[in-house]
Amino acid sequence: MNKYPLDRLAAFLIALLTAAVLAVTPVAAQQAVPEIVATQQAVIADLGAKTDELEKRVEANTGNDGRLADLRIELDVLAKDLLKAGVAFRPRLTEINTRLEPLGAAPAEGQPPEAELVAKERQALLSEKSQINVLIGEAETISLRVNRLIAEIAQMRRDLFANTLSKRYDIDYALLGEVVTDLTDELSRLYMTVAAWLKFVVQYKLSSVLAAAFFAVAGAVVLMIGGGRLFGSLLNVDPADPDPPYISRLSVAFWSTFLRSAAIAVFFLSTWFFFDYFDVLRGDIGAMLFALFVVLALVLFVNRLAHAVLSPRLPNWRLVEIEPRPARLLVWLITAMAIATGFDYLFGEVFRIRGAALALTVGESLAATVIVGILLILIATVKPFADAEGRPKAWPLLLRIAFYVVGAATVLAALLGFIGLAKFVSQQIVITGAILAMMYIGVLSGRAVAEEGAFAETALGRRLGGRWRVEEATFDQIGLATSILINLFVLFVGLPLILLQWGFQWGDIRAWAYSIATEIRVGTVSFSLIGIVTGIAVFAIGFFATRWFQGWLDDSVMTRGRVDAGVRNSIRTAVGYAGVALAGLIGISAAGIDLSNLALIAGALSLGIGFGLQNVVSNFVSGLILLAERPFKVGDWVVAGAVSGTVKKISVRATEIETFQRQTVIMPNSELINAAVGNWTHRNKLGRIEIGIGVAYGSDARKVHALLMEIASAHPMVLKNPEPSVAFLRFGDSSLDFEIRVFLSDVTNGVRVQNDIRFAILEAFAEHSVEIPYPHRTLIIGQDDLARATAPADAQGSPAQEGPKPAKIAAKPSSRRRRRASPDLDLEAEADDET
Amino acid sequence: MKKFLVMTAALVALTSQGNAASIVNNDSEARTVVVTEGSSQQELSLAGGESAEFCPNGCFVSLSGERETLLGTEQLEISGGKMRIR
For chain A, 835 residues long, the average pLDDT of each consecutive 10-residue run is 49 54 46 76 90 90 81 88 88 86 75 80 87 89 90 84 78 77 84 86 82 84 80 68 74 79 85 82 80 89 84 76 84 90 86 78 86 90 81 85 90 86 82 82 81 69 73 79 87 83 71 72 67 87 92 83 78 87 88 72 76 83 85 87 89 89 91 88 87 89 90 89 90 89 89 92 90 81 69 50 44 45 42 42
Q: Count Cα neighbours of A567 within 13 Å in the Cβ-side half-sphere.
A: 8
**A residues 90-129 closer than 8 Å to B (CB):** 90, 93-94, 97
CB contact under 8 A, B36 and A143: yes
Candidates B12, B40, B66; nearest CB to A593: B12
Q: pTM to 2 decimals?
A: 0.52
Structural domains in chain B, CATH included, are 18-85 (2.60.40)
B42 and A CB contact within 8 Å: no
* Interface residue of B8, B12, B55 to substitute, partner A, most A CBs within 10 Å: B12
CB contact under 8 A, A526 and B19: yes
A543 and B CB contact within 8 Å: no
The per-residue pLDDT for A599 is: 74
CA proximity to A305, closest of A269, A281, A330? A330
Do the strands B21-25 and B75-79 form a parallel or antiparallel pair, or are they unpaired?
parallel
CB contact under 8 A, A524 and B18: yes
The per-residue pLDDT for A814 is: 46
Distance of CA A322 to the CA centre of its chain: 37
State the smallest CA–CA distance between residue A87 and chain B in angstroms: 5
CB contact under 8 A, B69 and A90: yes
Report residue A562: phi and psi, to 5°: 55, 40
CB contact under 8 A, A525 and B16: yes
The per-residue pLDDT for A805 is: 45
Task: Tell me the torsion sign for CA atoms A4, A5, A10, A16.
Answer: positive
The per-residue pLDDT for B10 is: 60
Candidates A94, A151, A524; nearest CB to B39: A151
A577 and B CB contact within 8 Å: no
Residues of B in contact with A525 (CB under 8 A): 16-19
Query: CB–CB of A520/A526 below 8 Å?
Result: yes
The per-residue pLDDT for A525 is: 63
B49 and A CB contact within 8 Å: no
State the smallest CA–CA distance between residue B30 and chain A in angstroms: 22
The per-residue pLDDT for B29 is: 85
The length of chain B is 86
Contacts of A104 (CB under 8 A, 6+ apart): none
Residues of A in contact with B70 (CB under 8 A): 83, 87
CB contact under 8 A, A524 and B11: no
Give A651-655 contacts, CB < 8 A, sequence gap 24+: A651/A573, A651/A623, A651/B1, A652/A573, A652/A577, A652/A619, A652/A620, A652/A623, A652/A624, A652/A627, A652/B1, A653/A616, A653/A619, A653/A620, A653/A623, A653/B1, A653/B4, A654/A619, A654/A623, A655/A623, A655/A626
Closest A-chain CA to B71: A83
The DSSP secondary-structure symbol of A432 reads: I
Closest B-chain CA to A92: B68
Candidates A137, A597, A600; nearest CB to B16: A597
Report residue A496: phi and psi, to 5°: -60, -35
In A388-452, alpha helices (H): 397-416, 419-427, 433-450
Structural domains in chain A, CATH included, are 3-103+116-166 (no CATH), 174-412 (no CATH), 519-592 (no CATH), 594-680 (2.30.30.60), 687-767 (3.30.70.100), 778-812 (no CATH)
Mean pLDDT of chain A: 80
A148 and B CB contact within 8 Å: yes
CB contact under 8 A, A94 and B71: no
CB contact under 8 A, A147 and B85: no
CB contact under 8 A, A140 and B67: yes
State the smallest CA–CA distance between residue A286 and chain B in angstroms: 44
Q: Taking the CB of residue A385, how many other CB atoms lie within 10 A of it?
A: 16
B67 and A CB contact within 8 Å: yes
CB contact under 8 A, B17 and A86: no
The per-residue pLDDT for B1 is: 56
CB contact under 8 A, B67 and A136: yes
B64 and A CB contact within 8 Å: no
* Rounded CA separation B62/A483 (Å): 54
The per-residue pLDDT for A142 is: 92
B18 and A CB contact within 8 Å: yes
B86 and A CB contact within 8 Å: no
Q: Taking the CB of residue A373, how many other CB atoms lie within 10 A of it?
A: 26
The per-residue pLDDT for A827 is: 39
* Rounded CA separation A123/A311 (Å): 86
**A residues 493-522 closer than 8 Å to B (CB):** 519, 521
* Rounded CA separation A412/A168 (Å): 13
Do the strands B31-37 and B59-63 form a parallel or antiparallel pair, or are they unpaired?
antiparallel
Residues of A in contact with B68 (CB under 8 A): 86, 90, 93, 136
By CB atoms closer than 10 A (0-12, 13-18, 19+), residue A782 is exposed
A:B CB pairs within 8 Å: 103
pLDDT in tens, A118-161: 888 888 888 888 888 889 988 999 999 998 998 888 888 888 87
* Interface residue of A94, A136, A519, A586 to substitute, partner B, most B CBs within 10 Å: A136
* Rounded CA separation A367/A344 (Å): 9
The per-residue pLDDT for A806 is: 44
B53 and A CB contact within 8 Å: yes
